[in-house]
Chains A and B, each alone.
Chain A
């Protein structure tokens, strides 16, 4: 648990970066600090490991006042990941990861062995362990940065815009793997970002800060979308809030109805089935492949190239947002629902999903 108790950072020239911040980041959860530039989010983060000393107020790490320890000892107990990773150019990936265990006095061989495990754990090819940072891509460097922060197995991690310097595709991969890793490790994490979508995706709770370093709202992502506390938060959280909030609403009982199918590779049953417009094609494992127009000529083999692939898939028990999206993106208007293994369960219509959404509201 990390607790900010009226923490304030005022610079000699009078500017206040963080003003009376009181906030608790619970153990085992991800707390995201988000806000526009100049809101003091990075300053707040850096006050935890005393890279910046608070002018007044206290930051607690469990029951310890962080100011009571020598700064370097405090920092060795806290994982720290920054933008562009900040890897040491003169050390190999392996030695970068082993840095903190070596500082703590672990012997070199053991430190390297556990570093190698971590390299694999963050999804890197162990062959990269002998490389230098300059030989890695930005995404790979960032993974090494995460592994390095995890190396001494600190209960607490601070992450300062760790994924903002990589391209959107890599960023999404890194975010997904980060969530998977956190599922295994359950660290207490404070995460800084300027990207509200990243905050909503990653945070167990999100703290929105406003310029001048004050806390505007602390809430779960769903609450933040549903009930922004004022115009600033509403504006910062942005448009499509209602739709984005559906990502946190789960449709456990989608009224799935059976959907006629045709197998890829078989021949076309045509309008004989009495279906208007489209029929769903599945593979041998009953995994949906795409929609086939029933207006096509009869008795022709169903091939991949004839399928319409615009539709997204929803899962039973998944978010209502993806259920609604499955309906809206399907050419037939029927949203395809699958189980956890990707096998077809059936279909729902947008009207049915909307009814569920309305029920939820009531």
Chain B
């Protein structure tokens, strides 16, 4: 089939789902059309990946759309979380309407913006022009801020306001960086003019860019897009927005939006590295990454909220991924890419589990949740396995990726990074497991009088699928995934 038509249909499906669910105003219809469109898009993401892997990169509409292996990988990651979230959303939203007096209006607004959010995230990795990419990131902010206030409370309004204000100002800095990148290729009087903002063109002609301006521009990009990724010290909105959003939205924010924003930083990383040499950009990424891990772990240790716990864990994971890219080399970059996948799978499991706890125990406070194993055994089993997978317990894909990143730091001789990383990871291991353990085990309160038992299969199957994928990938990485990631490593460097 013609690739142009395929991409167009691929993007129209979520748009159609969001509009039709908003127009028809039937709850069952809205739930299942989201699930249907997300499963079609997941299949579509696999098709795009297959095409790019076996044939060649896709360039469409006068190079406005450019999909190489890296983009296709990101599209797949977004597709996975979109599918899982819309499946889990069926259970979560039914319970929210039942228990938390969610109104019909709020429900249909949620379905409208959920699919639009997925659409903006699916477009982002395809866009070639970096300024348009940034505006698309800004659109994801606006759409998801309405998802954060799915249930309008004072807290959720506060979270959404912080989110939109902090991230918009961050994106404007990134826009400034993009304009400076353009300036660096358009110095009057220089022999070579790079008059384009497409990353393909910038990457090809990176040698002609003005080095001083490219350096400042890259710093601005890291600050700006780092706000969206949630890298410390620009992470302030992350715990608020993740904890106040409904769980399916938290999963999408954490597991796919962060990756999509990091994608932009890494594209610029490639351009800046080719222009000014990789030494300086790598140092920036490593410093930001280590600081993010530190802040994330501090947040985990003193944490009382379930979803805030996983928000800080997201900051920590993004720090690890950033360090992986910053260390460079085959192991580091490969590990960072694999960690993106592992983070996506494990973090969606955890947010879904936290959503189930919220509905059963009616609280987000870790200290008030006890003995989940007796109350909802299936969720508790998956949740405890998931927390081991999240922090890099051995039979999971996160273990392999973190191991590879540590290996790269040893190989390059950055022993202080190795020591710091191992120390941080062990701290995260202990502190996160103690928190989740105290929730899952122990004895439920005597005055806990909610009905025992799990919710419908829609509440735990979305946890089971990514968790089993994460565990299987820990034992065996298929040849196709391996060659894909190796291909991306060569694209970045």
The answer on A and B forming one complex is no
* A interface residues, Cβ below 8 angstroms from B: none
* B interface residues, Cβ below 8 angstroms from A: none
